[in-house]
């Protein structure tokens, strides 16, 4: 058995309050709702950043236990909720959101709206048949359009592990150890993720219309990215 075996996982999905909750790491939860409901309150504690990937959220704010107002958090926007704020998140049918635990020094804790709407729209890169949304420096959302044989990756992080979680469709993943040439291939189906260890190069070839998340480890170092092309 090599150190590239057994890196494909099917995480446990917890159903509560009309939501399906998938813990992708100790800091990132993926939440989907089929019929609408409220996000479990045990997930809305501490400093968290919420990104509405699909659909919209209703946000109920409270003061002294009394509801003060309801504001919409529209699709494609993120908002930081700071510890001590009383609120409840209401999902709409078919909505999806990503929730990220913020560190005390994270500048996203202080992000403000610039257009009068709740939250802000993170940077979006659309070209070469795919759209990438930088939800945070460590969490990105990928959407592939109707093109075949798109290559994503051909690189590795020297010190940072990462994972790729497929929401829709499927994605083919090739891993290679640049030091000894060892290779392995995985097919990541919807609801599964693959873990890419540090110093291991990866290549993703998603099917048309696939959607997936890329999540870097907590020790993410932006300067440790290296190029390594993987031959098909």
Q: How far apart are CA 230 and CA 224, in angstroms?
A: 18
Is the pLDDT assigned to residue 196 strictly greater than 70? yes
- pLDDT number for residue 87: 86
Taking the C-alpha atoms of residue 138 and residue 63, their distance in angstroms, rounded to an integer, is: 33
pLDDT tens readout for residues 116-138? 899 999 999 987 788 999 999 99
- Using a 10 angstrom Cβ sphere, with 0-12 exposed, 13-18 middle and 19 or more buried, the burial of residue 187 is middle
Domains and CATH numbers, the chain: 13-103 (2.60.120.10), 122-227 (2.60.120.10)
Q: For residue range 74-114, list pLDDT tens digits in order.
A: 999 999 998 888 888 899 899 999 999 988 888 888 888 88
Question: Would you state the pLDDT for residue 212?
Answer: 96
Average pLDDT, the chain: 89
Q: What is the pTM of this model?
A: 0.91
Write down the pLDDT at residue 8. Answer: 96
Per the CB < 8 A criterion, the answer to whether 163 and 193 are in contact is yes
Convert 160-228 into a string of H (helix), E (strand) and C (coil): CCEEEEEEECEEEEEEECCCCCCEEEEEEECCCEEEECCCCEEEEEECCCCEEEEEECCCCCHHHEEEC
Comparing CA positions, the residue from 223, 229, 166 lying closest to residue 202 is 229
Q: Please state, for a pLDDT cut of 70, what percent of the chain lies above it.
A: 97
d(CA 23, CA 17): 16
């Amino acid at each position: 058995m090599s150190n590239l075996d057994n890196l494909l996982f099917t995480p446990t999905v917890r159903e509560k309050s009309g939501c399906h909750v998938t813990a992708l790491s100790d800091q990132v939860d993926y939440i989907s709702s089929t019929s609408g409901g409220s996000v479990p309150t045990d997930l809305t504690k501490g400093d968290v950043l919420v990104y509405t990937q699909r659909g919209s959220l209703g946000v109920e704010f409270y003061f002294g236990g009394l509801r003060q107002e309801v504001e919409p958090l529209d699709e494609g926007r993120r908002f930081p909720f700071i510890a001590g704020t009383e609120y409840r998140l209401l999902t709409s049918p078919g909505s999806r959101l990503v929730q990220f635990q913020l560190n005390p020094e994270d500048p996203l804790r202080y992000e403000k709206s610039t257009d009068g709407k709740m939250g802000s729209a993170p940077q979006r890169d659309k070209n070469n048949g795919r759209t990438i949304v930088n939800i945070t420096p460590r969490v990105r959302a990928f959407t592939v359009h109707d093109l075949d044989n798109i290559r994503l990756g051909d690189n590795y992080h020297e010190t940072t592990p990462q994972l790729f979680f497929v929401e829709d469709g499927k994605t083919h993943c090739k891993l290679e150890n640049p030091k000894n040439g060892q290779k392995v291939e995985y097919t990541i189906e919807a609801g599964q993720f693959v873990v890419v260890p540090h110093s291991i190069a990866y290549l993703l070839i998603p099917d048309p219309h696939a959607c997936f998340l890329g999540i870097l480890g907590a020790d993410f170092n932006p300067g440790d990215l290296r190029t390594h092309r993987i031959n098909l």
